[in-house]
Chains A and B, each alone.
Chain A
Amino acid sequence: MEPISADFEKELSLLREKLEEAEDVRRAIARGEVDAFVVGPGGSGRVLLLANAYQRYRQLVERMQQGALTATANGQILFANQRFSDMLGVPLAQLYTAPLESYVGVSDRARLSAFLMVSARESRVEVELSRRDGSSIPVRMSLASFADGYASLLVTDMRPLQWPSLAVDALDSIRTSLEKLNHDLGASDVARDSLRNISEEINGLARMIDEMIDVEGSERKR
């Protein structure tokens, strides 16, 4: 019998490794340990979740203006949305597995721990979040759900509203620029129509902001 060449042995080892990996994937699927797959060739891969509805929920969480996070009963962060990361001024990647209490004022930590314990199911708690820049912001943490031992919390910034006035200032500035442009363009009907449409859109946006201020203000008074 001829001796096995080094190349053949190397190839055999590689094939064994690939077979083991394939077997590991098969085993994990069979045991229900995975809930998403990457499909598509090379760099154009997409992630398919086993439950379609979850994808829509996820998009909602990512885009909402409230902070959202999921934590274990002992306060370890397992998931946070971008808004929560922005509130703290801490990159999202640093939040995974970090203790939530490390981002809360020292005097609030005991209350937060009690809130997170299953036995003390308060529906909400108000604490001071400690930002990376040393400042702090008052927030309300509300229990959105508790499943599989994990608490999902919504985090609402309780500071007096600031962004609406900034947005209104920005819109006023745009309006002034448009009026100047309107004057400079002279008598072109097409340009005037376009400008009128833009002005109407800006006015619509201003009305939306006013309504949001009213709604949010009344919710905070509750």
Chain B
Amino acid sequence: MIPANGTVGEKWNLRLYTAGQSPKSLAALDNLKRVCEQHLPGRYSIEVVDLLKNPRLAKDDQIVAIPTLVRKLPEPLRRIVGDLSDTERTLVGLQLRQIK
């Protein structure tokens, strides 16, 4: 699939802010991995930032609620708050799918 605002072969850089293994953090990582494997196979990287270990890192991306996914690349930066259980919303938020 060609992302709505991206190009084929472009590397996606995603950062997921979690709170250790809180249930929503685990679900978010699981859901994110599934979406990436389906829509961005072989061209994404996921960085998990555990804010229970380093709460100060929340400042970098102005995180207020956890889990939060931040798309660092491709630009522009995008944030999606929640456990990513709503796949449609996740795809739209990541701009992998146009708003219907």
Interface residues of A, Cβ cutoff 8 Å to B:
21, 24-25, 27-29, 31, 33-38, 42-47, 49, 54-55, 58, 61, 70, 72, 76, 78-79, 93, 96-97, 148, 150
Among B21, B26, B79, B81, contact of A34 (Cβ-Cβ < 8 Å) = B81
The reply to whether the CB of B66 lies closer than 8 angstroms to some CB of chain A is yes
Query: What is the size, in residues, of chain B's interface with A at 8 Å between Cβ atoms?
Result: 34
Q: How far is the CA of A46 from the CA of B24 in the complex (A)?
A: 18
1/0 per residue, CB under 8 A from A, across B25-42: the answer is: 111011001000000000
Q: Is B55 touching A45 in the complex (CB atoms < 8 A)?
A: yes
Q: A31: which B residues are within 8 A, CB to CB?
A: 82, 86
Q: Is A25 touching B65 in the complex (CB atoms < 8 A)?
A: yes
Q: How far is the CA of A46 from the CA of B67 in the complex (A)?
A: 14
Q: Is A70 touching B81 in the complex (CB atoms < 8 A)?
A: no
Q: Is B47 touching A93 in the complex (CB atoms < 8 A)?
A: yes
Q: Is A47 touching B81 in the complex (CB atoms < 8 A)?
A: no
Q: Is B20 touching A79 in the complex (CB atoms < 8 A)?
A: yes
Among A28, A42, A70, contact of B59 (Cβ-Cβ < 8 Å) = A42
Distance in Å: Cβ of A141 to nearest Cβ of chain B? 17
**Cβ-closest chain B residue relative to A79:** B21
Q: A28-B81, A97-B33 are in contact. Are A78 and B21 (CB under 8 A)?
A: yes
Among A24, A27, A35, A97, contact of B24 (Cβ-Cβ < 8 Å) = A35
Among A29, A35, A78, contact of B19 (Cβ-Cβ < 8 Å) = A35
Q: How far is the CA of A61 from the CA of B50 in the complex (A)?
A: 15
Q: Is B83 touching A33 in the complex (CB atoms < 8 A)?
A: yes
Q: How far is the CA of A35 from the CA of B26 in the complex (A)?
A: 11
Q: Is B55 touching A38 in the complex (CB atoms < 8 A)?
A: yes
Q: A79: which B residues are within 8 A, CB to CB?
A: 20-21, 25-26
Given A27-B81, A34-B65, A38-B58, 14 more pairs with CB closer than 8 A: A24-B80, A31-B86, A34-B24, A34-B66, A34-B82, A34-B83, A35-B66, A36-B66, A38-B66, A43-B59, A45-B56, A49-B22, A76-B30, A78-B30
